[in-house]
Structure 1
Amino acid sequence: MGWQAAVREGLLEAGVGPDRGWTNEHLEGTKTGSSIFDENGIRHSAADLLEYADESQITVYLHAVVHQILFRTSFPGQIPVAYGVAFRDSKGNEHTSFLNGGLKNEIILSAGALGSPQLLMLSGIGPSDQLKAQGINVILDQPMVGQGMSDNPMNGVLIPTATPVETALVQVVGITEFGSYIETGSGLYVAPNAALANSLRGSFGDGLFKDMKFEAGIILEKVKGPFSKGHLELKSRDPNENPIVTFNYFKDPRDLERCVKGMEVIKTLVESGALSSFQYPFTSFESLMDFVATTPFNMRPRLFMTSPAHHSMEQYCIDTVMTLWHYHGGCEVNKVVDQDYKVMGVDALRVIDGSTLSASPGTNPQATLMMLGR
């Protein structure tokens, strides 16, 4: 039995039922979902559609960065109309590109949950006080741009295995009744530095990981929603400089409660009979937690290992939280864009990406966003 199949059996053993078989529906229980990787491990992304594009109707610029959407108004009081973009090529040369005439032509902004609100602000659409502080001409005072930023907290454990495991991304998912998705990946890992290798040896034996390579499975949870919200602010007028983003992980206690319950399910899963043959002898769930808590996977302060008073599942969630790259918000529907994803208050501009979402759908938002793009 391979790792993915064993985790599937372990989830059912841990009570994450019923067995849903293969399905793309987000139903409570354990299931196998779809993938953009085929049976040969080749990825098929939305970029594959370029193969079928009409070359006379499309131009693709590689390594180009848009730094401003251009707007015009014909007379005072008129709604601003997007008519072009200013961008820099890979050598830093500046260019402009303009829409053709016609009422149906428009600009579609698809820079992601971090890039789209940033570019709207750089173009003059956003909280006026923030734009003025950066010396940006205010096209539209829109205080909701950059608000409602969320990132689904991810926590879990890395399990070095005593037997080889297949290289696989998430295939099996357990959807709990309380709002956590339990997922797994597996393969060959390489310790990025001596500190991590030493941590592995300290947790699992001096004779292991001599070449800094090890087989492992990772079991993680994604907190649904989440309830916690944050915001995004400009750091500068440079589009290449990341904005300042605050996600406020676990600020809402309901998210922390879900994380704790999810980690308890993971503990039961790790201790299940289905996974027993993969693990090194005498490996406890507590040792796996200690390993993750002492490994610099993120830059957060670590209180989990400082004293018994902090040695709790709640503190483990807070200390070891990581991104699952499912961040969303900043241009939410009915706040920044309308039901057709048109930016409210201006014409000829839409936003089509995760910034329009108020919650990340399902175990992975990719399929939803690809359908939205279509």
Structure 2
Amino acid sequence: MAPRLEELCLKMLLFLCILKSSQGMEFTGMKYPFLRMASSFSTAPPRGYDYIILGGGTAGCPLAATLSQNYSVLLLERGGSPYGNANVSYLQNFHISLADISSKSPSQAFISTDGVINARARVLGGGTCINAGFYTRASPSFIKEAGWNEDLVKESYPWVEKQVVQWPELAPWQAALKDGLLEAGVSPFNGYTYDHIYGTKVGGTIFDKDGYRHTAANLLASGNPEKLTVLLHATVQRILFNKRGPRQYACGVIFKDENGRRHRVNLNSRRSSEVILSSGAIGSPQLLLLSGIGPKKDLMKFNIPVVVDNWYVGKGMSDNPMNSIFLPTKKLIKQSLIQSVGITKMGSFIEASSGFGQSSDSIHCHHGIMSAEIGQLSTIPPKLRSIEAAQKYAKTKHEVPREAFKGGFILEKIDGPLSRGHLQLVDTNVDSNPNVTFNYFSHPYDLQRCVYGIRTIERIVHTKRFARLTEDDSYTIEMLLNMSVKANVNLIPKHTNDTASLEQFCRDTVITIWHYHGGCHVGRVVDENYRVLGVDSLRIIDGSTFDSSPGTNPQATVMMMGRYMGVKILRERLGRGAGV
């Protein structure tokens, strides 16, 4: 047997062993005995559940695990298990889940009205199953503005980190970015750190040294299996309310299973029992609206009975815009996702990815996180992007010349954009994506920061570190922005000798880094303890309550938030001395 063929056979055998082991873990493994299909649900406990959590995602999993230490918890997740799905579990398959637009995909594509293709997680573990794996905490100012207890925050981050986070082995492209950032003046170097600090750093990762992903779903192993039930493929259709005096309170939910059969599940009669929405920045405001909480005019249009007339539900939506530059290199660069980052005081963050594996056989499968293959059509202006365009590209991607894949991406994203948008229902089907508008770059300061980011990338490209990697060390920003069609990115002709042209480049090539947030803001939709205003026994604990996205990637803080709020709720019910 030829060495190359033998190596491939051994890899396949190893993969099948891992897959078999993972599939066994899905429902019967010792770590996760509480995972069940939604169709297995018959009746709730005689007195109902203490907590019903809607969404087993980045916040929902740690929240459920924590609350189950003392109370009965039902976690309803509309997606399936991440275990046994190689496209979720392995770094080299990162792009495949995002490219898959089938009904069984762990991600659900949606196109904002701005024309930017995005993705919602649809799998146990949420966004931690389909993201680029970067782990970094929020800044101290974010923690302070959120009003969180600093001591409890400092307890909650390590609880997450001990279970799912590791330090990365720095890939060549990531090492080049680190050195290039420092040479370009994005300093100091802060080393390997989870902290959000100005300058250049290397963050944590949820991928281990073998490229295996550890997700928020793993945190469920810390739950009490006698008090925790997790239903997969359980799609919540609406929250149920009842009256207690003059106020309404959440008393249960209606969900459908994987066969389309509807089920009702109730809270128990205790006043402290709650339904907790943890369905993300798209799902949580959508479910509030479908359940009768939102602008009265919008609800009446769909004949939804009004429970609370709140104009702010779905308002203030925001997404961190991103733009990317493709840089050709002399030879193939090992695949890597986000590991190094440059944090500037302008609020422009510089990151990088190289999107293909070491094997030339797989070169046409991995074209970076910006490729049209996963829906990021930066080759055409936003208004011309569509799911159909992505499908058309998928059919012809084999025609892209091999040389186009020799290189990597340098990315810049805007943190805390001042541009805001909104979310509205298109119908009363919970499976439908609502209309979402982010209004990218509608605020002039966001454009200023994008231009600053692009010019920072230009400085990095001209450093000695990158000169050793690239085909031509005389690249100008004009040449990079006008890269040939072979590279399949940033194809819109540009003249970049003035700020206006760079601003137009930002508008025309805007893409997402999947850090959307808002729609259920504190003080407008929920109070400081995340209780929904106007009703009882209902909270929202996820990124829809954020006014800005924390750190350079929100997953660390959203997982921490789930743990934090779980402990906070337990201490409120059991007393501060409760051991959690």
TM-score above 0.5, yes or no: yes
CA distance in structure 1 between the aligned counterparts of 2:493 and 2:535, rounded to whole angstroms: 49
Paired letter, 2:482: D
**Distance in 2 of aligned mates of 1:56 and 1:105:** 18
Of 38-47 and 267-276, deviating more is 38-47
Alignment pair present for 1:62 and 2:228: no
Aligned CA RMSD, in angstroms, stands at 2.7
User: Is 1:163–2:352 an aligned residue pair?
Assistant: no
Distance 1:319 1:294 in 2: 19
2:308 is matched with: 140
Q: Which amino acid aligns with 1:30?
A: T
Query: Separation in 1 of the partners of 2:426 and 2:295?
Result: 14
Do structure 1's residue 253 and structure 2's residue 421 form an aligned pair?
no
**1:216 Cα deviation from its structure 2 partner:** 2.8
Deviation at 1:50, TM superposition (A): 2.3
Does residue 502 of structure 2 align to residue 332 of structure 1?
no
Q: Please state if 1:353 is matched with 2:542.
A: yes
1:276–1:163: structure 2 CA closer, same or farther, 3 Å change rule? same
Q: 1:231 aligns with which of 422, 426, 431?
A: 422
The alignment status of 1:289 with 2:481, answered yes or no, reads yes
Asked if 2 retains the 8 angstrom alpha-carbon contact of 1:10 and 1:275, the reply is yes
2:511 to 306, 322, 327: 322
Q: Give unmatched runs, 5+ long, in structure 2.
A: 1-170, 357-365, 380-398, 564-580
- The answer to whether 1:13 aligns with 2:202 is no
Contact 2:336–2:354 (Cα < 8 Å) also in 1: yes
Q: Quick one: percent identity of the two aligned structures?
A: 48
Partner of 1:371: 560
| Counterpart code for 2:537 | A
Structure 1 counterpart of 2:460, which letter? L
Q: Judge conservation of contact 1:68–1:87 (CA < 8 Å) in 2.
A: yes
Specify which structure has the higher proportion of helix: 2
Q: Deviations over 1:64-87 (max 9, x none)?
A: 211100011145xx2110011111
**Alignment counterpart, residue 120 of structure 1, candidates 279, 288, 292:** 288
Cα contact 2:404–2:488 (8 A) shared by 1: no
Distance 1:13 1:307 in 2: 23
- Give the Å deviation of 1:305: 4.6
Is 1:25 matched with 2:195?
A: yes
- What code does the residue aligned with 1:367 have? A
Contact 2:317 2:422 in 1 (8 A): yes
CA offset at residue 159 of structure 1? 2.1
Q: Quote the residue 1:203 is aligned against.
A: none
Once the two structures are superposed, the pairs formed by residues 298-317 of structure 1 within 5 Å of their partners are 305=494, 312-317=501-506
> 1:73, 1:80 within 8 Å by CA — same for their partners in 2?
yes
> 1:297 and 1:271, CA in 2 relative to 1: closer, same or farther beyond 3 A?
closer
Query: In structure 2, what is the Cα distance between the partners aligned to 1:308 and 1:58?
Result: 60
Q: Deviations over 1:3-52 (max 9, x none)?
A: 11111111011111111112222221111111112222222111002234
Partner amino acid for 2:417?
P
Query: How much has 1:304 moved relative to structure 2?
Result: 5.2
Alpha-carbon distance change, 297 to 142 in structure 1, aligned in 2, over 3 angstroms: farther
1:199-230 deviation digits (Å, cap 9, x = unpaired): 9xxxxxxxx96458724321111101011111
State the 1:283 CA deviation. Answer: 4.8
Distance apart, 1:294 and its partner CA? 10
TM score, norm. by length of structure 2: 0.58
- TM-score when scaled to structure 1? 0.88
CA deviation profile, 1:128-148 (whole Å, cap 9, x unmatched): 000001110000001110011
**Contact 2:401 2:486 (8 Å CA) reproduced:** no
Structure 2 residue aligned with 1:104, among 263, 272, 279? 272
**Cα gap change, 1:292/1:185 in structure 2, threshold over 3 Å: closer, same or farther?**
farther
The one of 289, 299, 303 equivalent to 1:131 is 299
Counterpart code for 2:268:
N
Q: Secondary structure at 2:288's aligned position in 1?
A: helix
Whole-angstrom distance in 2 between the partners of 1:61 and 1:166:
39
* Alpha-carbon distance in structure 2 between the residues aligned to 1:306 and 1:185: 26
Letter in 2 for 1:356: T
Amino acid at match of 1:61: L
Question: The residue matched to 1:73 in structure 2 has which SS?
Answer: strand
- Do the aligned partners of 1:158 and 1:292 also contact (CA within 8 Å) in 2? no
- Report how far residue 330 of structure 1 moved: 0.3
For residues 213-232 of structure 1, the aligned pairs below 5 Å read 214-232=405-423
Q: Tell whether 2:480 aligns with 1:279.
A: no
Residue of structure 2 in register with 1:362 after alignment: 551
Q: CA deviation at 1:295?
A: 8.1
Matches of 1:38 and 1:269, distance apart in 2: 28
Q: Does structure 2 conserve the Cα–Cα contact (< 8 Å) formed by 1:304 and 1:311?
A: no
Contact map agreement 1:271 1:285 (CA 8 A) in 2: no
SS in 2 for 1:242: coil
In structure 2, the residue corresponding to 1:274 is in which secondary structure?
helix
Going from structure 1 to structure 2, the CA distance change for 1:310 and 1:255 (only over 3 Å counts) comes to closer
Partner amino acid, structure 2, of 1:107 = V
Q: Residue 458 of structure 2 corresponds to which residue in structure 1? A: 267
Deviation of 1:349 after TM superposition, in Å, equals 0.9
What amino acid is aligned across from residue 304 of structure 2 in structure 1?
Answer: I
3-state SS, counterpart of residue 278 of structure 1: coil
Residue aligned with 2:482, SS: helix
Hey, what's the Cα distance between the residues in 2 that align with 1:356 and 1:15? Answer: 35
* Residue of structure 2 in register with 1:205 after alignment: none
Alignment-derived partner of residue 182 in structure 1: 350
Distance 1:297 1:280, change over 3 A: closer
Alpha-carbon contact 2:255-2:262 (below 8 Å) kept: yes
